[in-house]
Amino acid sequence: MTEVYEIKGEDGTVLEVLAADDEPQGEAAEPYTTPEPAETPEPEPVEPTATVSIASRASWGARYPDGDLTLTGPAVEVWVHHSVTAQLSSDATVAAEAEQMRALESVGQTRFGTGISYNVVIFPSGRAYQGVSWNRRGTHTGGRNSTSRSICFAGNYEANNPTAAQISTAAAIYGYGKDRWWTRGAPLGGHRDVSQTACPGRNLYARLDDIRAGEGSTPPSPGEPGGLIVDGFWGSSTTRRLQQELGTPVDGVVSSQSVVWRDVNPGLTTGWRWVSDAQGSRVIAALQRKIGMASGDRDGKIGPETIRALQRYLGTRVDGVISRDSSAVMALQRRLNDGRV
C-alpha cells in the first residue's frame, strides 16, 4: 500500500500531498530506466556554475538516505511544489535555511524512510539546496516519482507570495537543466496539475510561466542570482548577490554611506546611498566580518580601511580605492558567481 502524507490548511484544503511510488512487483530493487537512456549520468549531477548554484546535501547536513532508487534516465516532467513548512524571510541566514532542510528531511524520513522528498528546495532568499539527488528517486509527485524531477519552494504559497529571487533561481535551474541529462528540457508544471492538492499554491502557480521562461535563457539576465557580469563595477546587482550570500536583507541597496568616499570610488555605482551623516549598512558590516576585520572596526561603512581589507582578502592590488572596472570588484563578482564570497 502506498503511504501518503497530506498537509491540510485550516479550512481542510490539501495544501501538499507526498507519496511514494509503488515499486514493480517482485522487482523492488530494480532501478528505473527510461526507454531510451541517452547518456551516462554524471557522477555529480549538478555543480555550481556561473549561472546556477545549488548548495550540496552535505552543506545542510543531510542525515538520511538519498531517496530509494537510482534513476538512470532524464526526467520526462518537472513539477513545482511548495513545502508548507516554515515561511522564512528573504534575509534568513544560511544556518536557518539548513535547519529547515533538515526539518524537511525528517518529514520524508519519518513517512517514507527515504530522506528528503524533493530534488531542490528554494528559499525566499533565492538560495537553492539539493534535496534528493537528481539521479535518485524521491517522494514528491505520487505516481510520477520515477519519471519526473521536482523543484520545491520552501514555505506556503497559497498564503504567501514567492520572492523575485526565488522565481529567478527556479528559472535559472530549469533553464540550466534544459541541456543536461537530469531534466533535458522536460515540460514544467505545478503539482496540482496531476494531484488533488493546492500545491504549489495559487501565488506560485501563477508564476510558472516566469520559471518556464528560464528555459534556454543561459545565463540569466545581469543582476539575477548567480548571473553577474564580471565588469568590475559594484552596482545593485552585485550588492544583491552579496546580500544573498551574506544573509542580509536583499534589496540591492547599500544604505547610509559617507558621501566623502563617493567621488574617489567611481567603481561604486548604482544602489549606493551617499549621505553626510552615514550610519552604515548591514551588508557592509557583514562583509567586514567576512573579510576578517576586527569587531570594533565593523561600522558598516565603506572607506579606505574597508576597501584595503577587502583587497587583501581577495588577493588584488591593495590601494584602498574602488576604481572603474576595479580588479577587486571583478574578483568579488567571480566569487559571487561561484557561490562563495
* Residue ranges in contact with Zn ion by CB under 5 A: 16, 81, 191, 199
Nearer to Zn ion, 142 or 175 (CB): 142
Contact between residue 189 and residue 79 where contact means Cβ atoms under 8 Å apart:
yes
Place of cell 558598516: 300
| Shortest spacing between CB 132 and Zn ion, in angstroms | 14
**120-122 and 128-130: which strand pairing?**
antiparallel
Nearer to Zn ion, 191 or 298 (CB): 191
Alpha carbon distance 112, 5 (integer Å): 9
SS3 (DSSP) at 68: coil
| Shortest spacing between CB 31 and Zn ion, in angstroms | 24
| Shortest spacing between CB 235 and Zn ion, in angstroms | 37
DSSP, residue by residue, 30-58: PPP--SS--SPPPSSS----SS--EE-HH
Contact between residue 199 and residue 191 where contact means Cβ atoms under 8 Å apart:
yes
| Shortest spacing between CB 21 and Zn ion, in angstroms | 14
| Closest-CA residue to 326 (of 339, 336, 317, 337) | 317
Nearer to Zn ion, 78 or 199 (CB): 199
Nearer to Zn ion, 51 or 148 (CB): 148
Alpha carbon distance 157, 139 (integer Å): 20
Helix axis angle for 282-290 and 236-246, nearest 10°, is 60
Nearer to Zn ion, 7 or 330 (CB): 7
Burial code (b: 16+ CB inside 10 Å, e: under 16) for 127-159 equals bbbbbbbbbbbbbbbbebbbbbbbbbbbbbbbe
Nearer to Zn ion, 16 or 245 (CB): 16
| Shortest spacing between CB 28 and Zn ion, in angstroms | 25
Contact between residue 135 and residue 71 where contact means Cβ atoms under 8 Å apart:
yes
| Closest-CA residue to 155 (of 214, 109, 196, 204) | 204
Nearer to Zn ion, 197 or 288 (CB): 197
| Shortest spacing between CB 270 and Zn ion, in angstroms | 38
Nearer to Zn ion, 191 or 301 (CB): 191
Cis peptide before 219 (omega within 30 of 0): yes
SS3 (DSSP) at 231: coil
Cβ-proximal residues to 108 (8 Å cutoff; 6+ apart), any chain:
18, 64, 114, 115, 116, 117, 138, 139
| Shortest spacing between CB 142 and Zn ion, in angstroms | 9
Alpha carbon distance 22, 1 (integer Å): 8
Nearer to Zn ion, 131 or 339 (CB): 131
| Shortest spacing between CB 191 and Zn ion, in angstroms | 3
